[in-house]
Amino acid sequence: MIVDEIYSKNSERKLQEFNMRERGIISLKDALEKNQNGPGIIAEYKRKSPSGFSNKSNTDILKYFDGIQRIIAGISILTEPQYFGGTPLDAEAVQCYNKPILIKDFISSESMIKSSYMSGGDAFLLICDFLDYASIKKLVQYGKKLGMDALVEVHDPASVKNIFPDENVILGYNRRNLKTLKMEDNSEEMYDNLKSYGLPVVLESGINHENINKLHIEKYQGLLIGSSLLSGDTIRW
């Protein structure tokens, strides 16, 4: 499986060695909780994905965010290089917007979190379907020392047990099964499981103008949207 392969190669990744952070931390959790106009949009930037997406329309990252910065609460940058074409330089570039930056990667170590911080990131992703409770707890607490929020994401209901709730945690439900790369929407059941933690909840993957009014987005504090926005979709609710 592709995601398993990505995790297995994390030890070989070249991480950010120099501090490119140009400003202090901006809390993604605070930005979502303070958003007054429904769930805040976290706009994701990526060049490609194993699910078949290819970013052909918005190759200039700054031009892209110039056009949407007024409607978004945060920025997500995919930094995994092989399958997503990512680079830490993208995170460095978008610090100018003074929006919280989520480093979207397959993080499994403290060194990857430190690299995310030095790239300009304010938050990082941890995936419960691939990391156990002890690992997530350790990484959440390490990020907390740096002042970073953690988006703790789950798809499989059996992986909810791996969540470590802390004051710097945002919860996410990913509609895509990362083991099969297929959409398997179980959002109503999963939302009920996640809301019991009393933390902001973000809905992720496959959100577009055709389905947004069917997803009960009013429940969520955030929507992580990538491919549809990058493809020019106009999303309204």
Catalytic residues: 44, 46, 104, 153, 174, 204-205
| Alpha helices (H) in the chain, listed in sequence order | 2-8, 28-34, 61-68, 81-84, 88-93, 110-118, 133-146, 187-195, 227-230
Yes or no: say if 113 and 88 are a contact pair by the CB < 8 Å rule.
no
Q: Going by DSSP bridges, is the β-strand pair 222-225/182-183 parallel, antiparallel, or unpaired?
A: unpaired
Strand partners for 104: 78
Overall residue count recorded for the chain in this entry: 237
Q: Are 175 and 187 in contact (CB under 8 A)?
A: yes
